[in-house]
Amino acid sequence: MAIIKNIKAREILDSRGNPTVECDIYLDDNSFGRSSVPSGASTGMHEAIELRDNDKGRYGGKGVLKAISNILEIVAPKIINQSFDNFYDFDENLLSIDGTKNKSNLGANATLALSLAYAKALAFQKKEELFKYLSKDNNFVLPVPMMNIVNGGSHADNSVDIQEFMIAPIGAPNFSESIRYGCEIFHSLKSKLKSKGLNINVGDEGGFAPNINSSNEVIELIIEAVNSAGLSMNKDIVLSLDVASTEFYENSKYYLKGENKILSSDEMIEYLKALSSTYPIYSIEDGMSEDDWEGWENLTKEIGARTQLVGDDLFVTNIERLQEGINRKIANSILVKVNQIGTLSETLDAINLAKKNGYTNVISHRSGETEDTTIADLAVATAAGQIKTGSLSRTDRTSKYNQLLRIEEILGNEAKFAGRQIIRY
């Protein structure tokens, strides 16, 4: 067991050019862990609190000096010269220092930075790769990447309603080939867009952000790009959507501005049903809004048997909300975002609760990211089977894929790729 000797915390920038928290923890044997915290744009209202300074004189109010001072002035004096049995104990101590349900005292950006840095320091101390250190049973699985090649919604300045159009290379023989499939499709899509006079600039998650009004048209273009890359739909590639519908839900209606449609909850379900029966879409995230539980129940009844229905804003990586969803038979999968809940151990609790109840896990980045690649290790360590970490461009996205490539190399012959087994039908 090692004693915490020093803690540093600083303001750094995320991929959107907003400040975020970075934290370093040193143990007395010079073991060291560093983490940095991502940040969402289409955040769920039930997420743990991300503490911002709201001082309009700095970074338009987005500074995180309060969260940093909470680390240095409130937490550090209580834990320096202390030791903990494991990161669960460390996190529990953090929760008791914070004392709130939603981390509003310290800020989830402060608690997550500490929690991840501490776990990394322990892995360093054990001279273990993070994915090995985090695993309970050494069942390492390389996830199928859901690659977000067209960005819309609040991640892009275009007329696409659905936030994320993703390709999942289920037919690739291994993880590195899945990256090659994704990349070749990404470049083929780029040429296709260009040849049609559409914009090839990218959105927050590195996917293209053309002005296209219809979701069907976006999907048709992606399918063309898959074929031009010499790959086949279903055999090699299936599609996945993050509708992020909370963003366009108001007064019990879904406002699809690009498509010029205002839909009731039932009509929204029909819309999703039509999309998923027309195209090979194996997974739909946040098809319904975070508090439209009845809509979620109906959607799950309608298409849950053959489609993975992922709760992001719905569950916010929170075991209480997930348990309620399980009780009400809502969705069949959870999106896992470390900063939605604010500690590593609570993240693992959510993953385990999902597994116990036959829900799948999709480990996820945020639209505002840093160079921290913890989620890559987390996906392998928990054998989640799926990761969503953006497109095949921009280092904030590719850094996670690159870490997975390194892990695949370390595992060598033992590397297993989740592949086709993630499909429900």
Look at residue 366 and give the partner it binds from ligand PGA, Zn ion, none, a contact being a CB closer than 5 to 8 Å depending on partner kind: ligand PGA
- Rg for the chain, CA atoms, rounded: 21
Binding of residue 283 to ligand PGA (CB under 6 A): no
Beta bridge partners of 256: 261
205 in catalytic set: yes
**Closer residue to Zn ion (CB): 14 or 285:** 285
177 in catalytic set: no
**Closer residue to ligand PGA (CB): 79 or 335:** 335
Q: Which of 9, 26, 36, 40 binds ligand PGA (CB under 6 A)?
A: 40
Candidate ranges 34-42, 49-57, 79-87, 325-333; the one touching ligand PGA (CB under 6 A): 34-42
Binding of residue 312 to Zn ion (CB under 5 A): yes
Half-sphere CA count of 389, side-chain side, radius 13 A: 31
- Mask of contacts with ligand PGA, 231-250, x by CB under 6 A? -----------x-x------
Binding of residue 302 to ligand PGA (CB under 6 A): no
Region of residue 79 (left: phi > 0; alpha: psi -120 to 50; beta: else): alpha
**Closer residue to ligand PGA (CB): 14 or 53:** 14
Distance in Å, CB of 162 to ligand PGA, minimum: 11
String of DSSP letters for 81-129: T---SSHHHHHHHHHHHH-SSS-TTT-HHHHHHHHHHHHHHHHHHTT--
> What is the C-alpha to C-alpha distance for residues 381 and 226, in angstroms, rounded to an integer?
30
Q: Which two tokens stand for residue 52?
A: 């911002």
Residue partners of 39: CB distance under 8 A and separation at least 6: 14, 16, 18, 20, 50, 109, 339, 366, 367, 368
Distance in Å, CB of 371 to ligand PGA, minimum: 16
Contacts by residues 75-84 (CB-CB < 8 Å, ≥ 24 positions apart): 75/7, 75/106, 75/110, 75/114, 76/7, 79/4, 79/7, 80/4, 80/5, 80/6, 80/7, 81/3, 81/4, 81/5, 82/3, 82/4, 83/1, 83/2, 83/3, 83/4, 84/1, 84/118
Binding of residue 171 to ligand PGA (CB under 6 A): no
Within 203-249, where are the H helices? 215-228
Q: Which of 337, 346, 388, 408 is catalytic?
A: 337
The H-or-E segment that residue 13 falls in is strand 4-13
The H-or-E segment that residue 198 falls in is none
Distance in Å, CB of 389 to ligand PGA, minimum: 10
Phi, psi of 108 (to 5 degrees): -65, -25
Q: Return the residues of window 216-245 that contact Zn ion according to CB under 5 A.
A: 242
**Closer residue to ligand PGA (CB): 42 or 158:** 42
Distance in Å, CB of 312 to ligand PGA, minimum: 5
Distance in Å, CB of 120 to ligand PGA, minimum: 22
Q: Which of 205, 285, 302, 369 is catalytic?
A: 205
Size of the site for Zn ion (CB under 5 A): 3
Distance in Å, CB of 364 to ligand PGA, minimum: 6
Q: Which two tokens stand for residue 413?
A: 């012959």
Candidate ranges 40-48, 88-96, 324-332, 373-381; the one touching ligand PGA (CB under 6 A): 40-48
Binding of residue 418 to ligand PGA (CB under 6 A): no
In terms of Cβ atoms closer than 10 Å to its own Cβ (0-12, 13-18, 19+), residue 351 is buried
Distance in Å, CB of 360 to ligand PGA, minimum: 15
**Closer residue to ligand PGA (CB): 178 or 367:** 367
In angstroms, the first-to-last Cα distance of the chain is 47
**Closer residue to Zn ion (CB): 258 or 419:** 258
Binding of residue 300 to ligand PGA (CB under 6 A): no
Candidate ranges 14-22, 35-43, 227-235, 274-282; the one touching ligand PGA (CB under 6 A): 35-43
Binding site for ligand PGA (CB under 6 A): 40-43, 242, 244, 312, 335, 364, 366-367
Active-site residue set? 205, 337
